[in-house]
Structure formats: structure tokens, C-alpha cells
Structure 1
């Protein structure tokens, strides 16, 4: 059974304005209002509740992420809830929230064994202290942290880092001009740009990624989706929209190939503040309810 777990955190994002906080913390309830939970309930899914974050503080300083202590505390609690869901035999679908959720998922899975990661994202999220002096927002650094290339405070929580081995990670969806494209391509098992998905087709790319991660030495793989993988013409309601992304049909195809063998998934970075009439929320619900309907079904 799919278990939907709300995680309305915005702790990993920079503030959109000096006196404002990021809007993606509103995403779980905006998607609920747009029908996400009802659509999955019709598929037999259950509502597994919510893991609330602490109050956004924007307290970054040299050598520390903004909201770092709050992120670590939330990651531990999220990991505990994911562990409980999996122990019950269900498949967690974490509805975020920003990409810092990957750390909580990584904590839960690393404590349980060796898992792979399908990282579907419009950016590589590979900024880290080794390639940038501007580290501050985990949502742009989550993949680097997940494979151990960040400050130990975030990349080695409770001595469990790296949460995913680099050879067990496949990234899909970055743009051709991504700042860390070369580095991440050398670091992880495979890197497939959005332009390659458009060229080769979602079914082919999804099958390749699934075959890379669905290996006997792994206990399964986690599916991370940042909706900015979509082109801004399709999904402008995200923190960092960049041209050159895939369309809704491509995304549904990727999810449909990867979801059945995944042990769980997370959806991140939809920002309801940028979707005042709810149009894009309803569109995203259609994508998720179609593409993730078989989450965990083939395991």
C-alpha cells in the first residue's frame, strides 16, 4: 500500500525576499486541495500524517547551512516515520516541501541497508564546499550531501553517511548548462540531461535507470522528484525555473518506468505561492496520480 506522508518543509531554500519565506511548505495542503490525496485514496493508498518542520530562521553563517539544526532535527524525525511506514509493509510517498527531504530519506534507508537513488531533478543539486564558497541552501546541495560531499554535520548525521554510494545514484533531468554537470557526471553512476530524455524518450531513459539501480546487491532504490525537472512553460510554480526541461508526458513516462520497483518516493519544490489559481497544482496531481500509481507494486 502507498502511504502519503506530508513533509511541509521550506528549510532548505533561500528566502525569496529578505522579509519572506519560501512558499513550498504550503505544497502538501495545496496538492491535497487539488485532489492528490483523494486520487491516491481511490488507488487504495492511506494518509500517513505529517512531519512538521521547525520555524524558518534564515540563520546561515560561514561553515553552516541556513536552518541547519532544524534541518537535521527534521531529517531524523522524517527518517523515523519513513522507517515506520516501511516496517508496516507500505511504500512511503513523501509530499514536500523542498529537496532537503532527501537527507531524511537517506537516513532511513542507510540504517536499513544499501539502497540506490533515482534523482529526477531539473538541477544536479551538487553545490558543496569543495566547489563553491556560497554553500547555504541545502535544497541546491542535497545530492552532494547525500553521497557524502558536504560538511559532516549534514552529510554524516549519526555516523550514517554517505546515505547513498555514488555508484548507486542515477541523476536525470538537469539542463545542458548546469554548473556542476561535469563534476556530477564523473561522480555518480549515470547522469542523463533533460535534452537526452527529450531525444531518447522517457520510456527508454526510465528503463536504463531502472536497470542501473535494480541490482541484486542493492536493497532497492528511492525515487526523488523535484518538479522543476519540468520546463517552466509547463510548471513555472517552482523555486528555480530554468528553460530546457521536459514536458508532462515525459515525466509521467519516467515515473511509470521507475515507480513500480522503487521502495518509496518524494515530491519536492512545488510552490503554491506561484500558483494563485491552483491550475498548476491540479496539473501536478494528474502527473503524480498517473506516474506514481504503481509505486512499489512490483517489489
Structure 2
């Protein structure tokens, strides 16, 4: 059955700490940037919904030790309300960030809809407490937050903690493997963890199929895909906040996304961290958009 496509635009950048040369992180421009390259027109969604984000700030919340905590919580609640109010049972949802902290609001919506899994594709684990964060940015802690690890005010919004169970998550693609304390956080969790090298060893399609097997065996209500574009090799996607040299190719990504997209339980995908300010001519965005359109369009073929 061909599914309707809805696009949600959540251009939040409060989860990132701006660099010295920036006035604010450019990920806020991502939805409009993709539109410029024909993404929206060629996807031809049934609906496009947008929730404008608060102005950028660097406010440090002493209680949670997370920057912009109050604004992120408020925005997450609005996100969840938007997704729930526009929810269509058989629609495929494309959610455009923004930074990774948009996962918090999306996960709250999923919790309200049932028991969901997440296939988390990222060049980092984003699974650390504020004490290990060098910046206090929520975008580096989002996977911890949605599983109930971290400050109560962020992990238990509306009393819904945890939004997603650790055991229902595959975290794939982390290339930041040298820091033992960083990696130990996720190794000691119940998340199914495949760093970049384990992912290659296990096989890209095989890993996605293992995830789908878990979803079916547990009888989950559905699953969601997180795609932080910094999981891609730096040579094909350097327009990100925190660059890592090693990563996956578009072919590798396709091996995972194809079986996930084809599964009727796939709620959709969120795309985060592509920063137009680091790709002024669209050198890296253009092939990314082309790849993504083809993969989404081919999901029912």
C-alpha cells in the first residue's frame, strides 16, 4: 500500500553550543535549505507542518547542567502536540531538524502513541550525562535523555519517563571510539550498540534486519529512524557540527534504510545536523538530497 508522506519542520538549534565564529548554529536553516534543492517539491508530501523555534541563546541551566533546558522542554512539548494532532496511522513522516535535541519531542509523541523502537544512526552515541559533556548541549545527550538517563526535568516531561526503552534501541555508527569513559556509558546500558567498526563487521543490511526482527518479536507498535548526517564519511558530508573523519557511504546507508523504509511499522525518519553554513554552494547537500529522494521514493517499489 502506498503511504501518504507528511513533512514536519522543527528547525531547533538550542541543543548546540555555537562556535566562536558563529552567531548561532546554522542547522536552523536545514528545512529551507533542503527546499531550495527541490526536496519538498519532489517528495510531494500530503502536508507540510512547521513549528518555529525560539531564538538562539546560550543559557546554562544550573539545575540540569544543560544549556537552554527550559526552552528545549517547552519546544519538545509543542513538537509532541503537533505530531499527535496531525497523526495519520499509515503515513510516513519525514521530520527535518534542527539539531539532535528534536528527538526529545519526537520521542514524547511516540510514547503517547504506544511502545516504539528507534534505529539510531549517528557518528556519536549521544548517550552521556551532563557531567561528561564539554558543552552542556542537549544534542550530545539526546539518546540518554529519551531513555530516562539524565536530569529529571528533561527525562520525565509530563511524567512520561522513559520515552523509549533502552532495550528497544539500536545505536549504530559511532566513530568516537577512543574515549573509554564516553563509550562505557552506552556499553553499560541495555541499548543494542554497534559502533562503526562493529556495524561493518555485522553487515549493514543484516543489522537493519536484526532490528526489524527485534521489533517483530517484541510486538512493538512501530519504530522511528534517527539520521544524524555526521554518520556519513567526512568526504561526502563535512557540513556538520562535530566532524569525524570515518563514517559510512551512501551505499552503506541505503543497505540499512531500504528494509526499514519498506516495513509498514516504520513511523518515519528524522534528519538532523546538516548545517548549510558549512556548504554554501550545496556541494554536499545536492547529492544528499538526491540520494534521500530516491531512497524514499523507492521504498514501495
The Cα shift of 1:7 comes to: 1.0
1:128-158 residue CA offsets vs partner (Å, 9 max, x unmatched): 14x5264610100000001000101111101
Superposed, which structure 2 residues align to 1:141-156 within 5 Å?
141-156=141-156
Superposed, which structure 2 residues align to 1:155-194 within 5 Å?
155-175=155-175, 177=177, 179=179, 180-194=182-196
Match of 1:31 in 2: 34
CA contact (8 A) 1:5 1:94 kept: yes
Distance of 1:286 and 1:109 partners within structure 2: 28
Match of 2:23 in 1: 20
Distance of 2:178 and 2:113 partners within structure 1: 33
Deviates more, 1:79-88 or 1:148-157: 79-88
Give the alignment's Cα RMSD to 1 decimal: 2.0
Distance of 1:16 and 1:214 partners within structure 2: 43
1:265 maps onto 2:269 in alignment: yes
1:185-227 residue CA offsets vs partner (Å, 9 max, x unmatched): 3313311122233344322222122222343431111111101
Q: What is the TM-score of this pair, normalised by structure 1?
A: 0.91
Match of 1:281 in 2: 285
SS at the partner of 1:250?
helix
Superposed, which structure 2 residues align to 1:71-90 within 5 Å?
71-87=72-88, 89-90=90-91
Tell me, which stretches of 5 or more residues in structure 1 are unaligned? none
The Cα shift of 1:3 comes to: 0.4
Match of 1:40 in 2: 43
1:31-55 residue CA offsets vs partner (Å, 9 max, x unmatched): 11111112211xxx22322111101
Distance of 2:97 and 2:57 partners within structure 1: 19
- Cα 1:50–1:174 shift into 2, 3 Å: same
Deviates more, 1:243-252 or 1:101-110: 243-252
- Cα 1:40–1:272 shift into 2, 3 Å: same
The Cα shift of 1:87 comes to: 3.7
1:96-121 residue CA offsets vs partner (Å, 9 max, x unmatched): 11100110111101112111111111
Distance of 1:266 and 1:170 partners within structure 2: 15
Would you identify which runs of 4 or more consecutive aligned residues in structure 1 move more than 6 Å? none
Q: What is the TM-score of this pair, normalised by structure 2?
A: 0.91
Deviates more, 1:279-288 or 1:166-175: 279-288
1:229-256 residue CA offsets vs partner (Å, 9 max, x unmatched): 0011110000011122111111122111
Match of 1:58 in 2: 58
> What count of residue pairs does the alignment treat as equivalent?
293
Match of 1:201 in 2: 203
SS at the partner of 1:118?
strand
Deviates more, 1:117-126 or 1:87-96: 87-96
Tell me, which stretches of 5 or more residues in structure 2 are unaligned? none
SS at the partner of 1:116?
strand
The Cα shift of 1:90 comes to: 2.0
